[in-house]
Copies of this chain bind each other. A is one copy, B any other.
Amino acid sequence: MTPTRTHTDILNAAGLTATDLAGGDLAVHSPIDGAEIARLRQTPAAQMPDIIARAQSAFKVWRSVPAPRRGELVRLLGEELRAAKDALGAVVTLEAGKITSEGLGEVQEMIDICDFAVGLSRQLYGLTIASERPGHRMMETWHPMGPTAVITAFNFPVAVWSWNTALALVCGNPVIWKPSEKTPLTALASMVAFQRALARFGDDAPEGLVQLVIGGPETGAALVESPAVAVVSATGSTRMGRIVGPKVAQRFGRSILELGGNNAMIVAPSADLDMAVRAIVFSAVGTAGQRCTSLRRLIVHNSIRAELVEKLKTAYATLPVGDPRDAGTLVGPLIDADSLARMLAALEQARAEGGQIYGGERCDAVAGGAYVTPAIADMPGQSAIVKTETFAPILYVMGYDTLEDAIDLQNDVPQGLSSCIFTLNLREAEAFLSAVGSDCGIANVNIGPSGAEIGGAFGGEKETGGGRESGSDAWKAYMRRATNTINYSAQLPLAQGVKFDI
């Protein structure tokens, strides 16, 4: 089935007008066919101070709006996203190249986090704590931090924004959003939904509560370097994080970094192989291997290695690569030609390091797009290229003999985002999840490394950057903690029994 809606139809359906889409110098292309679909106005560098100042002013107001009332805005945003789900999903597909189901799934993730954040808005729990002094009360309260920059990447052009924004808003922080230069249209379309929510919400929301800035690294730098931006949540490459982290640290700001992943699956002898195959294929080729949590390394027990690789090749052989809008497509285009070039170079290096490559061939599903068949690289060991994150559908396969070896391989990369094991053996599964198991922020059993639910905290250590977003107590990253002691007695005892009588 060939989609019949034009690119413009899709953008219009999401509320973007001709005025929105033209008049600037940032050319936006669809990875589907390489067509230019908009020329956007970028935010002039000179405006950044005003934008940040506006966020600061908004903060002074928003922090005093009760959190459950702030939650109501997020609830309305959730309603608007529900209403716009199809339209917004289609823009994700158009601009990021995701297949339809994944585009919709991304919007669903926005909706889910809104629901979750609404619940949080009546929680934001601190602690009351037993004090050692008579007539004293202790507690811990959480207060908003201030303006929050959200810097997002092309591969989750809207979900990551929503994770941050739903929480930041409920926590009392204004947001300044800098989307990837490759996916500003999904950002604009999301802001349309947000504006609708805002209009229904009424007067409690200050002007400048959520602002969108469009631009490149210097726009990001303005946010990263401003002492008035209390929190910088940045998703992207380790290279980017290595710049952002120290800069924010130097000005004693707070950063939430979600950087590279080089995610592995261990397949143990007892694994349900059919399930494993399905999980591997989805994790490795879904979103054309461009998820932070995409499966990149397969560590398979030597006793089943040959069989598993064979099954994978069979599965890969029939994977429909093509226009992501087509119902049958499972593998859409890479984001752009550079990305494809990096993939092909990586495969070249893998070959040089002894790998047997299967797939990884350029194909011309749609003219103008960077389409490629997903690749399997059967490797003699965890060589340099395997330890490198290449944002493309390459699956490196390695063998192992003991679980300890497998875990060593899993952990012996600089990144620490996601990981999993397929096994039906309880001892193996538990060992993998234990202190001596996976060193990743996400460690799963019998599901792939990607596709986290929003109820858990998302992120990882090492070069992944250490940030956590979404569920659990990730909201604390958007707030500051105050430890309070209240003396309601008429005495002044000192802690630790210190005596000091003047």
- List the 9 closest A-B pairs by CB distance, nearest first: A119-B119, A430-B488, A67-B130, A246-B246, A122-B455, A105-B498, A245-B249, A126-B128, A456-B483
Contact with B along A469-494 (1 / 0, CB 8 A): 00110000000111111111110101
- Residue A127 is within 8 A (CB to CB) of chain B in the complex: yes
Count of this chain's copies in the oligomeric assembly: 4
Q: How many Å from the CB of A258 to the closest CB on chain B?
A: 12
Q: Residue of B at shortest CB range from A482? A: B443
15 chain-A/chain-B pairs, Cβ below 8 angstroms: A66-B134, A71-B115, A109-B496, A122-B132, A125-B128, A126-B127, A129-B471, A129-B472, A272-B490, A426-B429, A426-B446, A426-B486, A442-B483, A452-B483, A456-B483
**Does A282 have its Cβ within 8 Å of any Cβ on chain B?**
yes
State whether the Cβ of A303 lies closer than 8 Å to any Cβ in chain B: no
Contacts known (A466-B252, A494-B105, A499-B101); A64 close to B483, Cβ less than 8 A: no
Q: Is A402 interfacial (CB-CB < 8 Å)?
A: no
Q: Which of B140, B279, B480 contacts A461 (CB 8 A)?
A: B480
Q: Are A463 and B139 in contact (CB under 8 A)?
A: no
Q: Which B residues lie within 8 Å of A335 (CB)? A: none
Task: For the complex, give the distance between the alpha carbons of A444 and B498 in Å.
Answer: 18
Check A435–B172 contact: CB distance below 8 A: yes
A367 close to chain B: CB less than 8 A = no
Q: Which residues of B contact A457 (CB under 8 A)?
A: 140, 481, 483
For A429, the chain B residues whose CB sits under 8 A away are 426, 486, 488
B453, A138: Cβ atoms closer than 8 Å: yes
Judging by beta carbons under 8 Å apart, are B129 and A127 in contact? no
- Assuming the contacts A101-B498, A116-B122, A436-B63, asked whether A487 and B455 have C-beta atoms less than 8 A apart, the reply is no
Digit string of A125-150 for contact with B (CB within 8 Å is 1, else 0)?
A: 11111111110111111111100000
B residues in contact with A480, CB < 8 Å = 439, 441, 461
Query: Min CB distance, A380 to chain B, in Å?
Result: 27
A122 near B471: Cβ-Cβ < 8 Å: yes
Residues of B close to A120: CB separation below 8 A: 119
User: Quick check: A486 and B430 within 8 Å, CB to CB?
Assistant: yes
Query: In the complex, what distance in Å separates the CA atom of A242 from the CA atom of B249?
Result: 7
A433 an interface residue at 8 Å Cβ cutoff? yes
Which of B126, B445, B496 makes the CB contact (< 8 A) with A108? B496
Query: Cα distance A439–B482 when bound, in Å?
Result: 8
Q: Which of B65, B124, B441 makes the CB contact (< 8 A) with A481?
A: B441
Least Cβ–Cβ distance between A282 and chain B, in angstroms? 5
State which of B123, B249, B430 has its C-beta within 8 Å of the C-beta of A119.
B123
Question: Assuming the A-B contacts A138-B453, A441-B482, A451-B495, are A488 and B130 also in contact, with contact meaning beta carbons closer than 8 angstroms in the complex?
Answer: no
Asked if A453 and B488 sit within 8 Å, CB to CB, the answer is: no
A254 interface residue (CB < 8 Å to B): yes
Chain B residues, Cβ within 8 Å of A462: 252
A137 interface neighbour in B242, B282, B430, Cβ under 8 Å: B430
Give A479's nearest chain B residue, CB to CB.
B435
CA distance A458 to B141 in the complex (A): 13
Q: Given the complex, which residues of B lie within 8 Å of A282, measured CB to CB?
A: 492, 494, 500, 502
